[in-house]
Structure 1
Amino acid sequence: MRRFSIGGDVFTDEVPELQAALAAAYTRKERPLCLCRDPGCAMYIAQIGDLHVIKRMPLSGGEHDPSCESYESPYALSGLGPLMGSAIQLDAESGTAALKLDFSLSKTGSRAPPVAGDGGPAGVSADQRKLSLRGLLHYLWHEAELTVWTSRWAGKRHWWNVRWHLLEAAKQMTVKGGQLSDILFVPEPFRADNKEAIEQRRSVALAAALPPKTGPRRLMVLVGEVKEVAPARSGQKVVIRHLPGFPLLIDDTLHRRLLARFEREFSLWGADPSSHLIAVATFGLNPAGLAIVEEVALMIVSENWIPYETMYEKRLVDALARFREKSIKGLRYNLHPDQPIANALLQNRREPFALFIVPAGADEDFEASLQDMIAARPEMRPWIWRVADGDMPALP
Structure 2
Amino acid sequence: MRRFRLADQVIDEAAPNLQDLLADAYRRKLRPLCLCHEPWPTMYIAQVGDQYIVKRMPLSGGGHDPSCSSYEPPDELSGLGVLMGSAIQVDPESGMAALKLDFRLSKVGARSASAAGALGSDSVVGDTKKLSLRGLLHYLWHEAELTVWTSRWAGKRHWWNIRWHLVEAARQMTVRGGALSEILFVPEPFRSADKAAIEQRRGQALAPALPPKSGPRKLMILVGEVKEFSPARSGHKLIVKHMPGFVFLLDESLHRRLQTRFETEMALWGADEASHLIAIATFGLTPAGLAVIEEIAVMVVAENWVPYESAYEKKLVDALARTRERSMKGLRYNLPVDKPTATAILQTQPRPVGLYV
Equivalent-residue separation in structure 1 for 2:71 and 2:352 (angstroms)? 12
8 Å CA contact retained: 1:124, 1:132: no
Q: CA offset at residue 115 of structure 1?
A: 3.5
| Whole-angstrom CA distance in 2 between matches of 1:124 and 1:247 | 30
* 4+ aligned runs moved over 4 Å, structure 1: 118-122
| Cα pair 2:276 2:303 within 8 Å, conserved | yes
Q: How many residues are matched?
A: 357
The answer to whether the aligner puts 1:241 opposite 2:258 as a matched pair is: no
Summarize deviations over 1:248-281 as a string: whole Å, max 9, x none.
1000010100010011011001100000000000
Residue 39 of structure 1: how far off its partner (Å): 4.3
Show the counterpart of 2:268: 268
Alignment gaps of 5+ in structure 2: none
Matched with 1:58 is 58
Residue 78 of structure 2 corresponds to 78
Q: Which residue does the alignment assign to 1:230?
A: 230
Comparing 294-303 with 210-219, which one deviates more in the overlay?
210-219
Q: Distance in 2 between matches of 1:289 and 1:115?
A: 26
* One-letter code aligned to 1:157: R
Query: What is the aligned partner in structure 1 of residue 99 from structure 2?
Result: 99
Counterpart of 1:342 in structure 2 is 342
SS in 2 for 1:198: helix
User: Any idea what the Cα deviations from partners look like across 1:269-302, whole Å, max 9, x if unmatched?
Assistant: 1100000000000001110111110000000000
Q: Is 1:163 equivalent to 2:127 in the alignment? A: no
Q: 1:17: Cα distance to partner? A: 1.2
* Aligned residue in 2 for 1:388: none
CA shift digits 1:134-173 (9 cap, x unpaired): 0000000000000000001111000000000000000111
CA RMSD of aligned residues (A): 1.5
SS in 2 for 1:141: helix
2:277–2:300 Cα contact (<8 Å) kept: yes
SS of match in other structure, 1:41: coil
Determine the C-alpha separation between the residues in 1 that align with 2:40 and 2:24: 20
Alignment correspondent of 1:378: none
Measure how far apart 1:229 and its partner are.
0.3
Q: Partner residue of 2:185? A: 185
CA drift at 1:177: 1.1
Note if contact 2:121-2:132 (Cα within 8 Å) is conserved in structure 1: no
Where in structure 2 are the equivalents of 1:210-359 lying within 5 Å?
Answer: 210-357=210-357
Partner AA of 1:57 in structure 2? M
Tell me how far 1:125 sits from its aligned partner. 4.4
Provide the residue aligned with 2:147 in structure 1: 147
Q: Structure 2 CA distance, aligned partners of 1:199 and 1:114? A: 32
Deviation at 1:79, TM superposition (A): 0.5
Kept after mapping to 1: 8 A contact 2:236/2:250: yes
Counterpart amino acid of residue 289 in structure 1: G
| In structure 2, distance between residues paired with 1:279 and 1:176 | 22
Contact 1:141 1:147 in 2 (8 A): yes
Shift of 1:26: 1.2
Counterpart residue number, 1:14: 14
Q: Give TM-score, length-normalised by structure 1.
A: 0.88
Aligned-partner Cα distance in 2 for 1:124–1:350: 40
| Aligned residue number for residue 393 of structure 1 | none
Distance 1:297 1:125, change over 3 A: farther
Deviation digits for residues 90-133 of structure 1 (CA, Å, limit 9, x no counterpart) = 10111111100000111112242553637889646421110000
> In 1, Cα distance between the equivalents of 2:166 and 2:213?
32
- Write out per-residue CA displacement over residues 55-106 of structure 1, whole angstroms, 9 at most, x where no aligned residue: 1111111111222111111110100010011000010111111100000111
- Cα distance in structure 1, aligned partners of 2:119 and 2:210: 30
Distance in structure 2 (CA, Å) of the matches to 1:120 and 1:244: 27
**Cα distance between partner residues in 1 of 2:348 and 2:30:** 28
Distance across 1 between alignment mates of 2:35 and 2:238 = 47
Identity across the alignment (%) = 68
Structure 1 match to 2:112: 112
> Structure 2: how far apart are the matches of 1:280 and 1:160?
17
- State whether residues 90 and 97 of structure 1, in contact with CA within 8 Å, keep that contact through their aligned partners in structure 2: yes
In structure 2, do the counterparts of structure 1 residues 114 and 226 end up closer, same or farther at CA, with 3 Å as the change threshold?
Answer: farther
Gaps of 5+ in 1: 358-396
2: distance between equivalents of 1:118 and 1:285? 17
> How many Å separate the matches in 2 of 1:116 and 1:244?
31
Cα displacement (A) at 1:7: 2.6
Quick one: which amino acid aligns to residue 107 of structure 1?
K
The secondary structure found in structure 1 opposite 2:337 is coil
Say whether the 8 Å CA contact 1:115–1:294 is kept in structure 2. no
Residue 312 of structure 2 aligns to a residue whose secondary structure is: helix
Instruction: Give the letter aligned to residue 126 of structure 1.
Output: G
**How far apart, CA to CA, are the structure 1 residues paired with 2:120 and 2:229?**
23
- Is the CA contact (8 Å cut-off) linking 1:122 and 1:262 kept in structure 2? no
For 2:256 and 2:156, the matched residues in 1 are separated by: 37
| Structure-2 separation of matches of 1:75 and 1:289 | 41
The structural deviation recorded for 1:38 is: 3.0
> Equivalents in 1 of 2:28, 2:124: separation in Å?
41
Partner SS state of residue 76, structure 2: helix
